Amino acid sequence: MHRKFGYYYWITITVMFTVVYTWPTASKTPIDGVNVGRTLFPTALRSGFNFLKLLSQDNHTIVVGTKNAMLNVSLSTLSVIKLTRPAPGKPQTTDPALADAQLWRQASADLVLMDYYWQTCNSCPRLTLEWSPTADDVSLCLVKGKTQNDCHNFIRFMYKQPDNRMIICGTNAFKPLCRQYQLTATNDYQVVREFSGVAIVPFDPRHNGTALYVPETDEIYTATFADFSGSSPLIYRKPLSGPTAELRTKRYDMKFLNDPHFISSLDDGDSVYFWFREAAAEYNNCGTAVFSRVARVCKSDQGDHKADAETWTTYIKARLNCSLSGQVPYYFNEIAATSNLVVTERNGKKTELIYAIFHTPSSALRASAICAFSMEEVRYIFNNGPFKVQKTPSSLWLPIYQANLPTPRPGDCQANSKTIGERAANFVRMHSLLSDAVPNYYEQPLVVDTSLGYQFTALAVDVVQSVSGFQYSVLFVGTNDGRVLKYVNVAQDTEVKSVLIETVHFFADRTTISNIRAVHSDEANQKTVSLLISTNDQLKLVPAHYCANKTSCRACTQLQDPYCAWDLIRSQCVSTVSGNWSESDFAQSVSSGQSPLCMDKFSEEDGLYPNDFTSAYPLVESRPIYTAECMVIAVVVTLVVASAVAFLIGYRCARWKIPFEAVPSYDSPLRKTLNSRTDHSEAYMSHLTVGKVNEAGMTMTYPDRRSEKDLLTVKNGTLPRDYKTKKVFVPSVFNSITFHLARLLHTSVNSVSALSKVKSVLFFHFLTGECVDEIVLCEFWQQKKKLFVYLSSSLSQ
């Protein structure tokens, strides 16, 4: 019975989880945005091997790194900027190269034409840079076992310096290389110097990494892999000038970096933060787990002069806590993407937040979540939190509080690493992990999505001021199937009430969105906001909202989109980015989706009469939103219902099967086998005795075990071959009962067949542990009632 219950229980659990997390509660179709906006690359160039990366952005242009080129792209037209102005002394009307400028702009989306125009327009000023690896570097790359598609120079890093200089780094056919360029008066790039890019950019464009340039100190801070195979991670500082030393994390020490996946980096005053996930060293004694981290290094760090000048003395890290609260929290442990630093102002207080996407492990229930972390809380934990230390490899990880820490405090950016004491130096060489985790600012995830069809992959956040003057953070979330989901948290302060405003499919081939940016521009004295979406092969510039699609006051306000409001004068759903709303002229309700200014309006789109009350949820439907409470309730309800259903199914099946087991048919295969085997009773015969004379001269009889064994073998006195038995230890009390029962039957009943069957069933039952005795004993009860009455009375005596 218990086996049946467990079997049906897990079947029911699986079915109900599938139904709960895949059933579409919303019925309206997401917006089709495949043909919306502008696309940079045509279909012919979507090879999957361009590895586009957004490098920098300003109000008018973006710089994109790709295969063997760095592209300067106009935000207004999303076309590659080839020509910006005529070269000095060459008028536009006479320069044949410049006459082709307009043609270039029209065809700039097609990169196939780029080589042609570079060959026929060598005198043209350019902001787009071509940089291919040398033939020797390509040959060496191929010798190392890489494919032709990998042996290119994929531009991964670009930062502008003063005096029209810039640093550009690329993979260079698995031989990372950096160059410093000078932009000349003719807009040509002139190489100033060249140096190794190892530890600045990865060897493989597929490897994750992050880097930033600090112009104040002319230094590059990176987190990447410093070897060909991607097995040597490090966090590294590369000074481009001045006496500052190169520093890196400790080599081959899992307590510092343990199989990390780097996500992003942040310049924060006197320190630099890195966001990544790694295998948790503090969990090794309990198994394997991946935790999300934020690490910090200080810009003033001069290295460990007492042991190794190349290593940090200020490197410390802490865990990021993104979880569903409860008695046993449900953790989202794997960080996948972060937003830029978002500054919001609520109730007169500015808050700096970093939003991040988290995943569950691939072996667990598939889910994505979005959490936010306050930089104020991050700084406090790094400056005041206890450390977590493991004294021996087999001991527990325990916290060490401020009173027991060396002076100056490890990781303190105000301390001079050249003058720290021996105790402090030894501590930072061995310990880098803080005990306290950085808490989620909202105490629970803003969004939890358990869809089996996609996962979150990219995130952008834009702060929008509503008609009421309240600021809302709008979240644009990219997925691995080419869609963008738009969320807004309509609750106040640190509470969570996220609303899904819309879902738009931008890529028909279900490609993974690798990056999203909210782009603000000022065209024709009108501020607009767009989304710049990138994949490995494409760039798309699309609207950030679709307010104009709504033609009624009610539909406009039900969006709950802070970008959109109903213009009461013009009777249009309009948008603004500047936040210059006039509350008396616009109807908007981000918190509830119901505006009293729309209650007296009616149109065919609403389908409602003036005084009807409608739900305050967006009309653009897609996947349901799962908040923390929804997910906990769904799990608990699923377990309870599955237990009840499994019990009922198992109970009914067991009740249905009992009558057939109690009175089996005479066609039972087991019964036929037992009835056909009568010779095996020879295996259980009486003892053969032999007479022996003792010391007193008396003759005594003893069992002759050797003769019994020989006779048993001669008569083939073993169980038949089709009697499959388990090798089990039968207790001596069973042997005793069986022996006396067989002896009692032999002396009291003259039925050889009955004796044979009873002994066979009893021995078979004892040896195998199978409950087959009920079948045969039931048959005997019908045929030999007197035999069992006598047997029961004899045993009771």
| Average pLDDT of the residues in 410-414 | 90
Residue 543, phi then psi, degrees to nearest 5: -65, 150
Tokens of 509: 């081939």
Q: Is the pLDDT higher at 616 or at 720?
A: 720
pLDDT given for residue 628 in this prediction = 52
Residue 381, phi then psi, degrees to nearest 5: -65, -40
Least Cα distance to 275 among 150, 373, 392, 176 occurs for 373
How many CB atoms within 10 Å of residue 658? 9
Q: Where are the alpha helices (DSSP H) in 23-127?
A: 96-99, 101-107, 114-120
C-alpha 681/C-alpha 788 separation (Å) is 19
The 3-class secondary structure across 181-247, one letter per residue, is EEECCCCCEEEEEEEECECCECCCCCCCCEEEEECCCCEEEEEEECCCCCCCEEEEEEECCCCCCCE
pLDDT given for residue 577 in this prediction = 72
pLDDT given for residue 603 in this prediction = 46
pLDDT given for residue 125 in this prediction = 38
Q: How far is CA 497 from CA 493, 494, 538, 613, 629, in A?
A: 11, 10, 34, 21, 11
Least Cα distance to 435 among 321, 531, 542, 560 occurs for 321
Give the position of tokens 């890529």: 507
Q: How far is CA 711 from CA 412, 683, 689, 708, 746, in A?
A: 90, 10, 13, 5, 20
Q: Is 335 exposed, middle or buried (0-12, 13-18, 19+ CB in 10 A)?
A: buried
Q: Is the pLDDT higher at 45 or at 519?
A: 519
Please say if the pLDDT value at position 771 is more than 50.
no
pLDDT given for residue 266 in this prediction = 97
Tokens of 256: 């510092």
Is-contact 438 321, C-beta < 8 A? yes
Please say if the pLDDT value at position 614 is more than 50.
no
Q: Tens digits of per-residue pLDDT, 476-515? A: 999 999 999 999 999 877 788 999 999 999 988 889 999 9
Average pLDDT score over the chain: 76
| Average pLDDT of the residues in 628-644 | 69
> Which stretches of 94-188 are assigned E, i.e. beta strand?
129-130, 155-161, 165-170, 177-183
Q: Tens digits of per-residue pLDDT, 691-711? A: 766 666 666 676 666 666 666
Is-contact 271 299, C-beta < 8 A? yes
pLDDT given for residue 458 in this prediction = 97
Is-contact 719 680, C-beta < 8 A? yes
Element (H, E) at 59: none
Is-contact 503 618, C-beta < 8 A? no
| Average pLDDT of the residues in 573-584 | 76
Least Cα distance to 273 among 295, 250, 300 occurs for 295
C-alpha 486/C-alpha 499 separation (Å) is 8
33-47, 407-421, 649-663: which is most confident: 407-421
Q: Is the pTM of this model over 0.85?
A: no
Q: Tens digits of per-residue pLDDT, 237-257? A: 999 988 888 999 998 889 999
766 band by pLDDT with thresholds 50, 70 and 90: very low
The 3-class secondary structure across 451-475, one letter per residue, is CCCCCEEEEEEEEEECCCCCEEEEE
Is-contact 302 242, C-beta < 8 A? no
For residue 112, what is the DSSP state?
A: G
Please say if the pLDDT value at position 528 is more than 90.
no
- Regarding beta strands 456-465 and 471-479, do their DSSP bridges make them parallel or antiparallel, or are they unpaired? antiparallel
Tokens of 619: 């009309």
Give the position of tokens 């919303």: 26
Please say if the pLDDT value at position 768 is more than 50.
no
C-alpha 533/C-alpha 64 separation (Å) is 12
Q: Tens digits of per-residue pLDDT, 458-485? A: 999 999 988 888 889 999 999 999 999 9
Of 43-52, 380-389, 396-405, the least confident: 43-52
pLDDT given for residue 79 in this prediction = 85
Percentage of the chain lying above the pLDDT 90 cut: 40
Q: Tens digits of per-residue pLDDT, 187-246? A: 788 999 999 999 999 999 999 999 999 999 999 999 999 998 888 999 999 999 888 889
Tokens of 65: 């790194």
Which residues, in sequence order, are bridge partners of residue 297? 272
Q: Tens digits of per-residue pLDDT, 378-398? A: 999 999 999 999 988 888 899
Q: Is the pLDDT higher at 506 or at 677?
A: 506
Q: Tens digits of per-residue pLDDT, 548-558? A: 999 999 999 99
Q: How far is CA 67 from CA 119, 137, 352, 706, in A?
A: 19, 15, 36, 88
pLDDT given for residue 659 in this prediction = 54
647 band by pLDDT with thresholds 50, 70 and 90: confident
Helix (H/G/I), strand (E/B), else coil: 505: strand
| Average pLDDT of the residues in 593-603 | 70
Count, residues in the chain = 797
Instruction: Give the alpha-carbon dihedral of 512, 514, 518, 522, to 10 degrees.
Output: -90
Least Cα distance to 52 among 141, 203, 156 occurs for 156
Helix (H/G/I), strand (E/B), else coil: 786: helix
Please say if the pLDDT value at position 119 is more than 70.
no
C-alpha 66/C-alpha 749 separation (Å) is 96
Which residues, in sequence order, are bridge partners of residue 699? 693
pLDDT given for residue 555 in this prediction = 92
Please say if the pLDDT value at position 265 is more than 80.
yes
Which residues, in sequence order, are bridge partners of residue 308? 304
pLDDT given for residue 343 in this prediction = 93
| Average pLDDT of the residues in 177-181 | 96
C-alpha 258/C-alpha 627 separation (Å) is 32
pLDDT given for residue 337 in this prediction = 97
Least Cα distance to 275 among 212, 198, 324 occurs for 212
280 band by pLDDT with thresholds 50, 70 and 90: very high
C-alpha 604/C-alpha 198 separation (Å) is 64
Is-contact 247 299, C-beta < 8 A? no
Please say if the pLDDT value at position 89 is more than 90.
no
Give the position of tokens 């034409």: 113
Of 318-327, 405-414, 749-758, 763-772, the least confident: 763-772
Query: How wide is the angle at C-alpha 334 spanned by C-alphas 445 and 238, nearest 5°?
Result: 115
Least Cα distance to 474 among 493, 488, 458 occurs for 488
C-alpha 173/C-alpha 131 separation (Å) is 11
Is-contact 130 116, C-beta < 8 A? no
Of 113-122, 163-172, 469-478, the least confident: 113-122
C-alpha 658/C-alpha 132 separation (Å) is 78
Q: Is the pLDDT higher at 425 or at 432?
A: 432
Least Cα distance to 632 among 769, 785, 445, 471 occurs for 445
Give the position of tokens 């787009």: 128
777 band by pLDDT with thresholds 50, 70 and 90: very low
